Structure 1
Amino acid sequence: MRLFAQFETCGDQLPVTGDFPNRRLNSRFFRVLCLLSGPAVLFFFINGVKALWLSFLPPYIFMKDMVQDWLLAKALLAGISPYDPLPVLAARFLGPWSEFVILRHPSPHPPIAAIAALPLGLLSCREAAFVWLGFELMCIGVSVYLVLKWWGGASLGWATGLTILLIAWAPFGEGLLFGQSNTLVLLLLICAWQTERQWLCGVFIGCSLAIKFMGWPILLFCLLRKKWRVVGTAFAVLIAGHMAAVLVMEADSVRLYYSKVIGSVDAIYRFADGNFSVWSLGWRMFVGISGPFKQSINILPLFANAPMAMPVSFFLTVVFVAGGMLLALKRRDSDVAWALLFCLSAVTGPISWIHYLVLLLPPAAVILKRIMRLGFPLGQTAIWFLLILLLLVPDSMLNGLAAFFDLQPSGFGPVTVSFWAGLLTLIPLAVTLGMMAFVYQTGKTMPPGFCSPGMPREGKGARYYD
């Protein structure tokens, strides 16, 4: 969505700059980088497909995150509390397979997500997993198609090919592996970005917030820009969704989720080694990391001072959100502003897993379109490839790299590393910060052909909202 008239560009295309010989040379450099990265992409693609295939075999299928949604749906259909601990629900609905449900707490998925998952409860767990995989692939395909349409070259062939290729990218590969809902969030927020109606933008943002409370920086941005129709519609969707939840699962279950479940789950996962959210940084620095999973590694704190963890995390989160919001507000190009907001939305919640970074797809496309129009400058092109290639690496491999610095070389006990070695697990956050800086830099200079405030607009870029 292009909400802000003063952010519009003249027409839909950026002007091509740079002299023709250098442009041809740099274009060849881009193709060479594509060829050189091919083996890495192929390697991670094959590994991703293999892991995805194995994830549908017992007992791995019962370790998927989507089993939580299936259990929530089963509980609602059976008329029992959906926010009983997952082992309790699993014992009732999975029988002997319940021991493979590795999470020991109630589901952290919100009430509206539980209602949306109700159709899954009519299927067996295995059938629900296959249906959910198909739904995820559809969400990725539509998202890719919409990005290509924004680019100006949408086709079903390209959308299908890129959807399959994205399995190699760790955010998408792991999202499919665990049966996550972030691909749906990505589709909703891309629709919000591309729609021409403020009220419809609010519907999409409201649905994203209702399903996973992702996209709140976008809502805050609209509030600061006084886009009341967007904000009002988003809140209306949230209110209507929670009213439906009260009717379906009763008020006690909704109250239990917000009063106890959220806090208890946050207290567990703020110490997870795979959680790289800005909110978790204070605990990394002053408490250390001791993940809840068997494959987790322990990361020692920089300074052992537990009382400092909460205020430092709060301070860093506020500074990060405020800085990102200021950058987005300063940009005259709405696509750059939205790209910054996608990055903010991925890492500013209490928890950020690597599959949250599916939200980096639009920023990556925005950057690539701009460096293409600038004639593929060598430095910017190389940096773009580096950021994309870093996200090929799954978090399990990052943990393996950190484990090389194990402070207990005897091999007994859990892997324990220093704070500095543990920084390897923050590479996804570093990529997100790099993407924000990069997208801001590419939109910082206004090349010839952009509109300034008050100039007339024409073509597909001239979109106004009622």
Structure 2
Amino acid sequence: MPHPLRGTAHGARQWLFGLLLVALATAGFALGTGSAFRPPPGYVGDFTQDWLAVREFGAGRPVYGSLPDALRRHMNGEPPEDFLQWNAHPPGSLFLVLPLARLDHADAFFVWNLVTFPLFVVAVGIVLVELGAGSGRARAGAATVIAVAGATCYPLYHQVLMGQFNALLAFLFALAWAADRRDRAVLAGAAIGLAAAVKLFPAFLALYLIAARRWRALGAAAATAAAIGALALGLFGTGAWRTYAGEVVPAVSAKYATQWNNLTLRAFWLRLFDPTPESRVIPLYHAPVLGAALAAAARLAVTGLAARAAWRAASVAGRDRAFAATVAAVVLVSPIAWPHYLILLVVPVGVTGAALRHSAWRWPLGACLAVLWLPETFVPGLVLGPARAELMGIHRHAPFTPAENLLVTSVQHYAVLGLFLLTLRAPGGPDGPR
């Protein structure tokens, strides 16, 4: 008969080993990227807007007041030229940053990265364990890859540099997927609901829950998102939600709708037929109605394919494929998706890579992943030259011709679309209802 404490001791060792690997991966990434976790003096990243909002709240001012004025008050400097007028993130996200309001900007930024980056490492670990790579050697290998090769992964570096929310969201997506495949519906739904409360676009994952008829998880997701929304309403007031929905969302969507490194389907089609002057893109033909119609049709097609995969899923493998496809679809159908959003694709990369590793489809998958791994200016730099690519990084480039837009600057969009289609190509077990 086994010793009654042996299992407990083994579990404790596994947890300690896992925590050690997470710590080593985090330290390795920080060293490999030149300690990007802590910003230099005067640096302004995406995290800055959330920190300024909660600082304003602590001073008794609206969280969606003038962001440039808040920067002058709390950072004693002038805002960058393209600085937003308001915080672009929803009220629910501010709960996470509120505990850091008393820290100065650099310390708060550092703590945020120190807390959120390990969650991405955990997300990778969840995917590996769920797909069967659960040995200590496999986990150690994954930690080494994240620490060493991860330092060359531009979306991951960009996430840390900007202090974004996507490491947290990647963790919540992986947790929801693992919980769903283990039939832990409440946990899966709560993870999706929390993600939707933090950044609204993850609410698209409700499509999977509806189409796959995961009703308990859907209820948990709705209850979690509603509870956090109600707390934000009570804490920040109705004015915060009114300003965010009525002014912030339309202004941000219009400002970045057709920017060249916006990876979404809507941005792709509008760049072809109705680009904004700020995006510096020459249209193929100026036809706003056609661009909007094609964008809507493309988003509807991707949504339909993801819903069909979820509806027909009749096994764990089928649900894996459907969930992974829906995560990839999130990036495509959102109004805005930047390169740091690509770290959200941990589940589709893991599921599709495991399913196609012995198939000829692994080669196009590898090509897509290589494009997604590199900076969005890498391919343009090879074709258009490094000087122009550098100007693209600060959005001061010469206007792109239609050919450059289609064949050079849209390569990462094609890679995301390719990953989505390859995920649908992955074996999913027997089909369910048609």
Could you state the TM-score of these two structures normalised by the residue count of structure 1?
0.76
Match status 1:183 vs 2:167: yes
1:212 to 179, 199, 203: 199
- Bigger relative CO (Cα 8 Å, ≥ 6 apart): 1
* Partner secondary structure for residue 377 of structure 2: helix
AA at the equivalent of 1:184: L
2:370 to 389, 404, 429: 389
Query: 1:262 is matched with which residue?
Result: 249
1:151 to 121, 131, 146: 131
Alpha carbons of structure 1 residues 127 and 102: separation in structure 2 relative to 1, 3 Å: farther
Query: 2:105 is matched with which residue?
Result: 125
1:436 to 397, 420, 426: 420
RMSD across aligned C-alpha pairs, in angstroms? Answer: 2.8
Query: 1:172 is matched with which residue?
Result: 156
* Partner secondary structure for residue 113 of structure 1: helix
Distance 2:112 2:403 in 1: 39
Match status 1:317 vs 2:299: yes
Name structure 2 gaps, 5 residues minimum. 1-27, 389-395
The structural deviation recorded for 1:327 is 3.3
- The worse-fitting range, judged by mean Cα deviation, of 226-235 and 394-403 is 394-403
Match status 1:362 vs 2:347: yes
The structural deviation recorded for 1:205 is 0.6
Alpha carbons of structure 1 residues 144 and 242: separation in structure 2 relative to 1, 3 Å: same
Match status 1:160 vs 2:147: no
Distance 1:437 1:307 in 2: 27
CA contact (8 A) 1:402 1:422 kept: no
The structural deviation recorded for 1:187 is 0.6
1:25-424 alignment to 2 at 5 Å? 49-50=32-33, 53=36, 56-59=39-42, 62-96=43-77, 98-100=78-80, 102-154=82-134, 155=136, 156-164=139-147, 165-195=149-179, 196-291=183-278, 298-332=280-314, 333-372=318-357, 376-377=358-359, 379-401=360-382, 403-404=384-385, 414-423=397-406, 424=408
Distance 2:290 2:120 in 1: 40
Alpha carbons of structure 1 residues 90 and 402: separation in structure 2 relative to 1, 3 Å: farther
The structural deviation recorded for 1:54 is 9.4
AA at the equivalent of 1:286: F
Could you state the TM-score of these two structures normalised by the residue count of structure 2?
0.82
Alpha carbons of structure 1 residues 139 and 392: separation in structure 2 relative to 1, 3 Å: same
| Residue deviations 1:200-222 (CA, integer Å, cap 9, x gap) | 21111100101112333321221
AA at the equivalent of 2:271: R
Distance 2:171 2:245 in 1: 26
| Residue deviations 1:344-394 (CA, integer Å, cap 9, x gap) | 11221110111111122221211222234xxx34x3332232122112221
Alpha carbons of structure 1 residues 452 and 417: separation in structure 2 relative to 1, 3 Å: closer
CA contact (8 A) 1:147 1:362 kept: yes
| Residue deviations 1:418-440 (CA, integer Å, cap 9, x gap) | 12211322222211221122222
Distance 1:399 1:46 in 2: 26
The number of equivalent residue pairs is: 388
Distance 1:285 1:55 in 2: 39
| Residue deviations 1:294-353 (CA, integer Å, cap 9, x gap) | xxx621111112344333322322222123322343344221111111111122111011
Distance 1:242 1:442 in 2: 37
What percent of counterpart residues are identical? 22
Query: 1:27 is matched with which residue?
Result: none
